[in-house]
Amino acid sequence: MEPFEQSLPANPAVLQGFRQSLSNWLGGAEIGQVAQDALVLAAHEAVANGIEHGSGSPVRVQGTVENGDLVVEITTNGSWGSTSESEDTLAERGRGVALMRGLTELQLRVDDDCVVIRLRPPQP
């Protein structure tokens, strides 16, 4: 399966096209429709947050298969607020992180200058 890569401008108008592109790419993965839908929704939420809170910089999305595991990684510039924010603080700001965590296996890294979200399909 070829990697998926997109750099999206900080413009909410790109979200629908992004969802379709990611859904098309995931169609080649050996995961069920429920897992595909969960990944698309969680990635949409991550990209939307990056557009809203990512300091106007593009949001980068990469989809790969690592050691047989499908991974979708979303990277934004900025830290979605102050540089002291942690995963717990981000979780308190809204329901986006909880949504992503409920739909996928989520890894979230918040640095001083970027946020990296790694999503994996939910395990049955």
pTM score, whole prediction: 0.87
Mean of pLDDT values over 94-114: 90
Torsion sign, CA atoms 40, 87, 52, 73: negative
Give Cα 100 distance to the centre of its chain. 8
For every residue of the chain, which 3-state class applies, written as one string? CCCEEEEECCCHHHHHHHHHHHHHHHCCCCCCHHHHHHHHHHHHHHHHHHHHHCCCCCEEEEEEEECCEEEEEEEEECCCCCCCCCHHHHHHHCCHHHHHHHHCEEEEEECCCEEEEEEECCCC
- Predicted confidence at residue 93, as pLDDT, reads 57
What CATH class does 4-120 carry? alpha beta
Domain coordinates in residue numbering, the chain: 4-120
**47-70 pLDDT, tens per residue?**
999 998 888 899 999 999 988 889
Highest-scoring range by mean pLDDT, 16-25, 27-36, 45-54, 81-90: 16-25
